[in-house]
Amino acid sequence: MAIVGKPLVDIDTEIELNAEESVAEEDSMEDNLQASNTTNESSSTAPPDRSGDQGDIPDKPLSTIAGAPGASASQKPLTLATPAVRRLSKELDIPIETVRGSGPGGRIQKQDLIKGLERLTQSSKKPLNQTETRKPLTPIQSQMYKTMTRSLSLPQFLFSDSYDFTALSSLRRVLNEHLSQKSSPPVDKVSYFPLLVKAVSQTLVDYPILNARLDEEPSGSKPQIVYRSEHNIGVAIDSPSGLVVPVIRSVQNLSIFEISAEVQRFSKLAQSGSLSSSDLSGGTITVSNIGTIGGTTTTPMLVEGQLAILGIGKAKTVPGFDKHGRVVPRQETVLSWCADHRVIDGATLARMAGAVGKLIDEPGALLTDIR
């Protein structure tokens, strides 16, 4: 008969059953313990019953009862714990006799096992001895150490901005299609890097101070700026020995394909460690493409004997807007410039960066020297 407001069926879950069994086991153990204590008290006050034939012979010797006077030291002391706790101690591989209980009457509980496990874990941890190995700098590291140490003594001005590479990407695709139709192309393909190197060279015509050097100790006079006619652009390349900066000479007279061929040639020489000292000297400005490894922005450091350096970040696809206000995908890259602030002011560097950015937006002018 169903009664309003009363449950129709009671369902015992496994957790509740286990909890009830654990409580029942603990209550049973407490009852047995109390009965044992009552029996011991009764036997200690009542005179022994010798009416039977064997009444004066105990079932077990007193010395075999754990905790009794005269018991052997090898006998295990009485340990209070529920079967669930004992099972957990076996799973954790913790001898339950070594755990001190915090429950009533010294009963071992679950949290006692967890604390015991934590103590065992901490005691098993051994501190590792630090070892140090000294190695001399490689020749490239030694040169980088000297160059960067001197570079950090200069006041440097940093300028960064993001640019839309969509038009430059389209030009690159056209150039690679042009190469694929040639029977013996000068290079396999053209990357962004040669295009940007050519853009820097064309812009240096209008901003020659960034291609100059500073002579700090001319004979008998004040520091002077020395302008240089050739655009010898250093290209930073990652190699197994470290960062190397070979120099592409007279970039103003080279086509995009010729610049690309030089970059590929230097990359192969750098990987094999075959760059000569002449390949690494004579640069007037440097372009570093950190984006090939990763990273959006960078803080390039000046190279000794130069007044400016350009760092190229990684190109990535971002949402943009066309002339109608519609969202379209576009290729974006961050260009980071650094210049010697002793002779190059921020406005000059910003204008130089803007001129390069204009060639990126309208890269058709780079094709004038395609040959």
Residues that are catalytic: 341, 345
State the CB neighbour count (10 A cutoff) for residue 193: 18
d(CA 177, CA 269): 27
What are the φ/ψ torsions at residue 214 (nearest 5 degrees)?
-105, 120
Rounded to the nearest 5°, which phi and psi values hold at 21?
-65, -40
What's the token pair of residue 32? Answer: 């047995």
Q: How far apart are CA 89 and CA 169, in angstroms?
A: 67
Residues 186, 187, 190, 195, CA torsion sign: negative
Q: Please report, as a single letter, which amino acid is at residue 349.
A: L
108 beta partners: 81
85, two tokens: 């706790």
Please, what is the Cα angle at 356 between 351 and 361, to 5 degrees?
120
User: Which letter, b or e, does each residue of 302-313 get, where b requires 16 or more Cβ atoms within 10 Å of its Cβ?
Assistant: bbeebbbbbbbb
Measured between alpha carbons, how far is 303 from 223 in angstroms, rounded to an integer? 19
